[in-house]
Amino acid sequence: MVKQRSPQVKRASFACAIGLALSLAVCSQAAFAKNESKLPSCDDLKTEFHPDSLTTVLLVKAFKKGEALALSGTPATPPPPIAANDVCMVKLLVGPGNPGPAGAPSTSPGIGIEIWLPARENWNQRIHVAGGGGWAGGNQTNVTLLAGAGGAGGTTPAPSFIATVEGAVSANTDTGHSGPGGGSFAMNPDGSINTVLWNDFAQRGIHEMAVKAKEITKVYYGNTQKYAYWDGFSTGGRQGHKLAQLHPDDFAASSRARPRSTGRASSRPSSTRRSSTSEISAAFRSRAAS
């Protein structure tokens, strides 16, 4: 015959269980706080983010909610956008680039990447990067100007908007050259094809952006993303197709609008079927971000 426990014993057991649960909760919170304290600040990324020998952190800058998204060289007019939430901006340079005469379009120190990291409490555990336009290029390696500051945009949102409003890590890239616009970077001074920068523009720049965005996400948040998305229009659409062909695991899904071919000076639409802005790439669909 099984003996029934007295009410006093039951109350004591219940009290012990409650005490154990509270102790575990306190220990869990303490462990979380300890882990949180080990994560780098925005400024720490300057010295603590070094994924490989070819990658250099050029600049890190923390912006508070309500601050102007501007650096020392940002023009006063039009007024720069205002940060909707706290955000950390990081500029990277990924070599080796292409040596050559100073000032020549074919000369480049490497691929410029600008990454925008939402505050930890605002991060939605996603990466959502923005494709480029035209022949790409930009201010990603310029430490006095921002390349990704902007608003919702008519086609693709600016990385700063994605990070501060949507809450996703975002980035864009100059694809290996800063500009000016046009395809002159693809030819060396002697008239030969600049295969290094052509490859950076065609696929390596956007792939490196995906890789570095994921790596810095893990360092800054202490965890990997749940999903990673590509968002591009025109050249950004072509880039999305290229990623699906060569690096299908870079992104879980892709929105690619009107991909264009920049193989001709006229930048006419490519012969491939155009994708609507809401189309999700079949090559990316159902792929978890690596």
For the segment 126-146, what is each residue's pLDDT rounded down to a tens digit?
Answer: 999 999 989 989 999 999 999
For tokens 């309500």, the residue is 66
What does the longest C-alpha to C-alpha distance in the chain come to? 99
pLDDT band at 13 (very low <50, low <70, confident <90, very high): low
Collect all residues with Cβ–Cβ distance below 8 Å to 195 and sequence separation of at least 6: none
CA distance 220 to 42: 8
Check if the beta carbon of residue 160 is closer than 8 Å to that of residue 116. Answer: yes
SS3 state at 59: strand
Let me know how long the chain is.
290
Say what the alpha-carbon torsion angle 276, 279, 281, 285 is, to the nearest 10 degrees: 180
Residue 31 pLDDT exceeds 50: no
- The residue among 115 and 264 whose pLDDT is bigger is 115
Coil, helix or strand at residue 277: coil
How far apart are alpha carbons 175 and 103 in whole angstroms? 18
User: For residue 158, is it left (φ>0), alpha (ψ between -120 and 50) or beta?
Assistant: beta
- Helical H runs in 125-204? 159-161, 195-199
**Which residues lie across from 254 on neighbouring strands?**
230
Task: With CA atoms as reference, report the closest residue to 206 among 251, 167, 168, 169.
Answer: 251
Q: What is the pLDDT of residues 174-231, one digit of tens each?
A: 999 998 668 999 999 999 999 999 999 999 999 999 999 999 999 999 999 999 999 9
41-70 pLDDT per residue, tens: 999 999 999 999 999 999 999 999 999 999
- For the cut 90, the answer to whether the pLDDT of residue 109 exceeds it is yes
Neighbour count for residue 99 (Cβ, 10 Å):
11
- Mean pLDDT taken over the chain: 83
Q: 237 pLDDT exceeds 80?
A: yes
In 10 A of CB 25, how many CB atoms? 10
Q: What is the pLDDT of residues 158-167, one digit of tens each?
A: 999 999 999 9
